[in-house]
């Protein structure tokens, strides 16, 4: 029997959960399918902290930031849960775009202020500062482990059907929709959806490859990497910790560094710090979950030099995936009956409820996404 559905969302991570919530708020019939169980740690949306870093100057992202701050407030009010800890975010180092960021944020009504390195060191003594310091008081840390179930729960209240442990084993784009074979413990269910929203993270190309290639359709190449941040033990219990992003420059003193460094305090786990998008390329179904030793040693050396408030020799490694496009801009587009949301890793989580809104717009034909996110760019 072939069941006919309105909208199927494939992938129950951050963006899929947000799309289901946004669609259900509009009264649409939505079915979300997720191949793993609730709260799994195999993808990119687990853990209790993600930085909400407002450090953007591009108009599309700044507009999304302003909308996102409002939507996170709405989600907190509707769910009755605190999802954002407003610790502020401090971006520092010889980054030439800081002035552009401050100007763009001020124009959008998002606070930004430059602070002398000596003042920053006094306020946040767990971090070493030596050059420009841009303080963003409206930033902070979001909690994925609380946000995802909150969005799914609110979607269910409005009639959404959430199916965990349900895998898409066949995906065929038809003239009148998308035919799916959904495999679960109960067996295989064949459904036809008027439209499908694909938010499958590292599995996006695996899911779409055959169906799209057979019809001559293309999306930007997605690179899946295993990222390996670490939680370092706090050595200075009196230190205050904002979220932070350090842009170290390219001088000889930074030899052995891999990328800018991001970090934040994760309550009960320590200070999270990590490189940005430089982990080894992986198949998401065949990950080792083991840190790459050279990169981990370099991260420890970074902590010794720039994070005096931690014990660089006492840490717990973390493993997650990044899925990125070549230009690091997202994919938000509709191709026939398929809506695609992909390439968010490294900086997407802060925009989660906005991306949910955009995906719902695309699914319902309300409006298109900004041009920079088009699949054909």
Tens of each residue's pLDDT in the chain, 377 residues:
579 999 999 999 999 999 999 999 999 999 999 999 999 999 999 999 999 999 999 999 999 999 999 999 999 999 999 999 999 999 999 999 999 999 999 999 999 999 999 999 999 999 999 899 999 999 999 999 999 999 999 999 999 999 999 999 999 999 889 999 999 999 999 999 999 999 999 999 999 987 676 666 788 899 999 999 999 999 999 999 999 999 976 555 555 667 899 999 999 999 999 999 899 999 999 998 998 899 999 999 999 999 999 999 999 999 999 999 999 999 999 999 999 999 998 899 999 999 999 999 999 999 999 999 999 88
Phi, psi of 63 (to 5 degrees): -60, -40
Of 238, 246, 285, give the one whose Cα is nearest residue 123.
238
Q: 207, 350 in Cβ contact below 8 A?
A: no
- The angle subtended at Cα 367 by Cα 146 and Cα 143, nearest 5°, is 10
Radius of gyration of the chain measured on its C-alpha atoms: 21
Which class is domain 84-141+224-324?
A: alpha beta
> What are the boundaries of each domain within the chain?
2-46+146-221+326-373, 84-141+224-324
Q: What homologous superfamily is domain 2-46+146-221+326-373 in, according to CATH? A: FAD/NAD(P)-binding domain (3.50.50.60)
Handedness of CA 251, 254, 260, 261 (dihedral sign): negative
């Amino acid at each position: 029997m072939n069941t006919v559905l309105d909208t199927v969302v494939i992938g129950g991570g951050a963006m899929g959960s947000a799309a289901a919530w946004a669609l259900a708020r509009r009264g649409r019939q939505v079915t979300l399918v997720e191949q793993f169980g609730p709260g799994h740690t195999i993808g990119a949306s687990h853990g209790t902290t993600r930085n909400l870093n407002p450090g953007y100057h591009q108009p599309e992202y700044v507009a999304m930031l302003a909308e996102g701050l409002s939507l996170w407030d709405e989600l907190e009010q509707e769910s009755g849960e605190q999802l954002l800890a407003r610790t502020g975010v401090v971006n520092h180092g010889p980054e030439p775009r800081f002035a552009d960021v401050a100007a763009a944020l001020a124009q959008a009504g998002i606070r930004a202020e430059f602070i002398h390195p000596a003042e920053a060191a006094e306020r946040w003594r767990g971090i070493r500062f030596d050059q420009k310091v841009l303080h963003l008081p409206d930033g902070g840390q979001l909690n994925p482990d609380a946000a995802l179930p909150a969005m799914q729960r609110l979607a269910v209240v409005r009639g959404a059907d959430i199916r965990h442990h349900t895998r898409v084993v066949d995906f065929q784009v038809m003239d009148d929709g998308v035919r799916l074979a959904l495999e679960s413990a109960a067996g295989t269910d064949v459904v036809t959806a008027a439209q499908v929203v694909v938010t499958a993270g590292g599995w996006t190309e695996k899911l779409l490859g055959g169906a799209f290639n057979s019809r001559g359709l293309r999306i930007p190449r997605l690179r899946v990497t295993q990222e390996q941040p670490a939680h370092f033990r706090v050595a200075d219990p009196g230190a205050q910790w904002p979220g932070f992003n350090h842009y170290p420059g390219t001088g000889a003193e930074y030899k052995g560094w891999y990328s800018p460094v991001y970090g934040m305090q994760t309550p009960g786990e320590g200070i999270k710090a990590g490189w940005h998008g430089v982990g080894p390329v992986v198949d998401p179904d065949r990950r080792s979950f083991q840190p790459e030793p050279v990169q981990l040693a370099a991260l420890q050396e970074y902590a010794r030099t720039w994070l005096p408030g931690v014990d660089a020799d006492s840490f717990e490694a973390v493993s997650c995936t990044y899925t990125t496009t070549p230009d690091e801009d997202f994919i938000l587009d509709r191709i026939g009956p398929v809506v695609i949301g992909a390439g968010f890793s490294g900086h997407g989580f802060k925009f989660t409820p906005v991306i949910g809104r955009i995906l719902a717009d695309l699914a319902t034909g309300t409006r298109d996404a900004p041009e920079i996110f088009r699949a054909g760019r």
